[in-house]
């Protein structure tokens, strides 16, 4: 038998399958998806078994053997292996890079698989274990072929239990526990506590933790006495790291679907019962109860014996979503997102792989949850750009979800109040099935929205970031003990430092961008390369003391709000949520303590549901409007509509204030009136004329180098290759300097390719990728190929 193996070396030169002979002793053991140690050159490295065949076209005498396997069971399913190849081909990347993105970080670290003796082991298993064990465990990778073959029957019978030990902080978590030695002896009748405790321990199928014993009122001395008499022993038991172990989830009250929700669910359920892949666009206004439809769809999948994947765009949304899902489905829910530690994420992944969890909830990377029988995939807020990976592999979770749904013949549900133009256009053409929720679930009215012209406000003498109208509304809500959400999509204290005498603005030495002032640590900071420097007392150029801060970020506005309203403010941005668990802590503090104001960046704009929030204010509605990107209008409309939907979700009427210097822009006016279809028609006409998505597909080429001349030369070279190989129906824009021309001391040029149909495009992209992989080693010129980019900056 022979195995096709992909090696864990991130290099284009070895981005292919290598053939290895499977030793006779491993023929019945090795499966597709196993991690293995293989001889490669003059060293042993890790690889993944991609395929197994009975014969090979190579000279058998020259085919090397697999040394050993790393795990008792495969870490990849056949479906995930196929998926990794599809992603690598579509997004122009190496398959091994995709595989490493699919697996948790813990499996990329140094690991070892060990075997432990189970309590049900017989004499033969015990004898073999005693022969092979060291420190009461057997390390699988240390076994020779004969020993490995001999343990397989005991693994299948469950007498040997497999565990994966991960180096450093990703080791399995253990708790100290006590188990009975089953001697059939009991303490004397006078030792009442000892007898009670021993009877309890013997009645349990698993060892009882010391913590549970102490909580039940038994002292350490009682345990010591039983141990001294040889009746019990202390052991370590493996427990899952549960990020929600301190939380109690009460069973949620079931909501009856309203008419719109029921119609939507019936169509999804019919597709599920037909084992038919269908993509549904669930277009519902904010507060229309899309999550209830998700819950019903997932329950239907579970009842059919299948599993479910649920994606959310932001970590900030995860706590509230987890609360609802845990309350409904309990321990069936696994959570996967970047805020978990490596160990917690690894344990959640294991729960899924071992079948102990049936539902995964998380951000982008949780689309790779290792389920083997998916019944439904749901992407909430499907329009969000965060579903696109920002570093290689540059996959889009929405496209990956579509491929997985096709493989499992199950529905894919894309939910949003403001769908992407691409998704809505596909629903217009019947490629997606559109389901509409036009009313809020509890029949609450949508909030009334007022637009405030900040240019006019300044002319009237108010130079504050808070307009007179918004200030009055905030005072009113504070007096009523209602809550307010304020959005400012810019963090830090001030945008930049300015010398009023010579006009000098401190710039990042590594990037072509001004430094942002952060008052909390008293530094000027670059938000691209994280460069920091102290704030100068005098202008570095003219030595003038007339330096001032310009612009306002969330840090400064928090200070203004505290002074203006003499009240507590919860601020949520990257700076306040860096530490683990801070998202949930801040949101719980805002809700449980009824804090009057929640101020934040776009992470607070969607998905949050606070019944006492009756006022939403957007302090600068133009922030995303002024970005040099063809999706700027769409993102502005989406952000404003989403954040407006946070108001009036309970029994009280909501109100929204948009502060802007562009009061007549259609993105803002249509968001004010919640007119999605009208906005869609206007924006589609602009996209048609400008020949952008969804009328054209895009590939963005970013060329970077520390040498400007090399960067320019490579950019023109790539442009020439494209023009020589594509049809005249496609459009090449550039090369031109990127909007931010230098980041981290690397100059940046870009080229945008617009196309409708280019049969040989993948070949061209692969050739360019290979060419500049070699060029990077020689001259340091790097090429990044972004297929279906979300940003063109």
How far apart (Å, rounded) are the C-alpha atoms in residues 4 and 27? 14
Within 8 A by CB and 6+ apart from 543, the residues are none
How far apart (Å, rounded) are the C-alpha atoms in residues 19 and 479? 74
Determine contact, residues 473/615, Cβ cutoff 8 Å. yes
What Cα–Cα distance (Å) separates residue 505 from each residue in 49, 327, 559, 738? 56, 52, 24, 21
How far apart (Å, rounded) are the C-alpha atoms in residues 664 and 316? 32
How far apart (Å, rounded) are the C-alpha atoms in residues 424 and 403? 19
Residue 254 gets which letter from DSSP? P
Binding-site residue ranges: 499, 502, 508, 511, 526, 529, 539, 542
How far apart (Å, rounded) are the C-alpha atoms in residues 659 and 452? 5
How far apart (Å, rounded) are the C-alpha atoms in residues 719 and 123? 72
| 632-644 vs 676-690: helix crossing angle, rounded to 10 | 170
Phi, psi of 664, deg, nearest 5: -100, 5
Secondary structure (3-state) at 491: coil
Strand ranges inside 191-313, DSSP E: 208-209, 232-239, 279-284, 307-311
How far apart (Å, rounded) are the C-alpha atoms in residues 91 and 96? 13
Q: Which of 400, 391, 389 is nearest to 10 (CA)?
A: 391
Binding-site residue ranges for Zn(2+): 499, 502, 508, 511, 526, 529, 539, 542
Within 8 A by CB and 6+ apart from 90, the residues are 399, 787
Strand ranges inside 363-455, DSSP E: 374-380, 412-416, 433-437, 448-453
How far apart (Å, rounded) are the C-alpha atoms in residues 562 and 570? 10
How far apart (Å, rounded) are the C-alpha atoms in residues 762 and 91? 9
Q: Taking the CA of residue 314 as centre, how many other CA atoms within 13 Å lie in the half-sphere pointing to its CB?
A: 21
284 burial class (0-12, 13-18, 19+ CB within 10 angstroms)? Answer: buried
Helix, strand, coil share of the chain (percent; to 5): 35, 25, 40
């Amino acid at each position: 038998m022979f195995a096709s193996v992909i090696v864990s070396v991130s290099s284009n030169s070895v981005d292919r399958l290598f053939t290895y002979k499977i030793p006779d002793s491993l023929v019945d053991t090795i499966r597709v998806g196993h991690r293995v140690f293989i001889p490669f050159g003059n060293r042993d490295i890790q690889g993944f078994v991609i395929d197994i065949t009975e014969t090979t076209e190579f000279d058998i005498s020259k085919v090397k053997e697999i040394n050993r396997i790393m795990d008792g069971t495969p870490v990849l399913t056949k479906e995930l292996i196929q998926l990794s190849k599809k992603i690598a081909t579509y997004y122009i990347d190496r398959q091994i890079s995709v595989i490493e993105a699919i697996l948790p970080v813990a499996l990329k670290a140094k690991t070892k698989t060990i075997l432990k003796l189970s309590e049900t082991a017989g004499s033969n298993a015990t004898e073999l274990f005693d022969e092979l064990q060291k420190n009461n465990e057997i390390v699988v990778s240390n076994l020779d072929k004969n020993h490995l073959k001999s343990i397989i029957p005991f693994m299948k019978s469950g007498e040997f239990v497999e565990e994966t030990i991960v180096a450093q902080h990703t080791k399995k978590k253990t708790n100290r526990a006590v188990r009975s030695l089953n001697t059939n002896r009991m303490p004397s009748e006078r030792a009442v506590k000892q007898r009670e405790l021993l009877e309890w321990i013997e009645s349990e199928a698993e060892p009882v933790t010391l913590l549970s014993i102490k909580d039940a009122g038994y002292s350490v001395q009682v345990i010591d006495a039983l141990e001294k008499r040889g009746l019990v022993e202390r052991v370590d038991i493996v427990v899952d790291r549960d990020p929600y172990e301190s939380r109690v989830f009460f069973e949620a009250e079931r909501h009856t679907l309203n008419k719109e929700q029921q119609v939507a669910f019936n169509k999804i359920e019919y597709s599920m019962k037909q084992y038919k892949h269908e993509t549904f666009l669930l277009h519902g206004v904010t507060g229309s109860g899309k999550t209830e439809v998700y819950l019903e769809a997932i329950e239907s999948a579970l009842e059919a014996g299948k599993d479910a994947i649920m994606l959310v765009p932001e970590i900030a949304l995860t706590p509230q979503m987890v609360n609802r899902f845990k309350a409904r489905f309990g321990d069936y829910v696994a959570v996967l997102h970047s805020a978990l530690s490596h160990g917690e994420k690894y344990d959640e992944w294991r729960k899924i792989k071992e079948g102990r969890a049936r539902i995964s909830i998380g951000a982008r990377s949780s689309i790779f949850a290792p389920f083997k029988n998916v019944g439904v995939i749901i992407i909430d807020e499907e329009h969000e750009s965060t579903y696109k990976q920002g570093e290689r592999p540059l996959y889009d979770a929405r496209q990956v979800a579509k491929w997985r749904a096709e493989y499992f013949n199950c529905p894919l549900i894309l939910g949003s109040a403001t769908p992407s133009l691409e998704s809505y256009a596909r629903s217009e053409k019947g490629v997606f099935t559109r389901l509409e929720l036009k009313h809020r679930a509890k029949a609450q009215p949508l909030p009334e929205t007022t637009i405030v012209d900040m240019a006019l406000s300044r002319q009237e003498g108010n130079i504050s970031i808070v307009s007179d109208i918004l200030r009055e509304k905030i005072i009113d809500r504070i007096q009523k003990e209602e809550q307010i959400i304020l959005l400012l999509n810019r963090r830090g204290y001030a945008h930049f430092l300015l010398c009023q005498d010579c006009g000098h603005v401190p710039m990042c030495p590594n990037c072509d961008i001004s430094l942002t002032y952060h008052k909390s640590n008293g530094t000027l900071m670059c938000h691209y390369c994280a460069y920091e420097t102290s704030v100068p007392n005098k202008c570095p150029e003219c030595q003038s003391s007339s330096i001032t801060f310009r612009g306002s970020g969330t840090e400064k506005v928090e200070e203004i709000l505290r002074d203006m309203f003499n009240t507590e403010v919860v601020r949520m941005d990257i700076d306040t949520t860096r530490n683990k668990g801070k998202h949930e802590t801040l949101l719980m503090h805002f809700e449980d303590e009824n804090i009057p104001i929640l101020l934040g960046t776009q992470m607070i704009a969607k998905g949050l549901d606070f019944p006492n929030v009756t006022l939403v204010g957007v302090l600068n509605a133009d922030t995303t409007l002024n970005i040099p990107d063809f999706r700027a209008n769409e993102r502005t409309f989406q952000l404003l509509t989403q954040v407006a939907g946070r108001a009036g979700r309970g029994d009280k009427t909501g109100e929204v204030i948009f502060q802007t210097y562009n009061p007549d822009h259609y993105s803002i006016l249509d968001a004010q009136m919640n007119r999605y279809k009208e906005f869609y028609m206007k924006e589609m006409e602009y996209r048609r004329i400008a020949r952008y998505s969804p009328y054209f597909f895009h590939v963005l080429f970013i060329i970077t180098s520390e040498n400007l001349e090399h960067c320019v030369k490579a950019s023109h070279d790539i442009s020439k290759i494209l023009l020589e190989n594509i049809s005249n129906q496609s459009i090449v824009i550039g090369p031109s300097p990127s909007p931010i021309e230098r980041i981290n001391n690397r100059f940046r040029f870009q080229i945008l390719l617009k196309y409708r149909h280019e049969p040989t495009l993948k070949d061209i992209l692969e050739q360019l990728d290979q060419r500049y992989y070699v060029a990077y080693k020689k001259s340091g010129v790097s090429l990044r190929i972004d297929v279906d980019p979300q940003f063109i900056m």
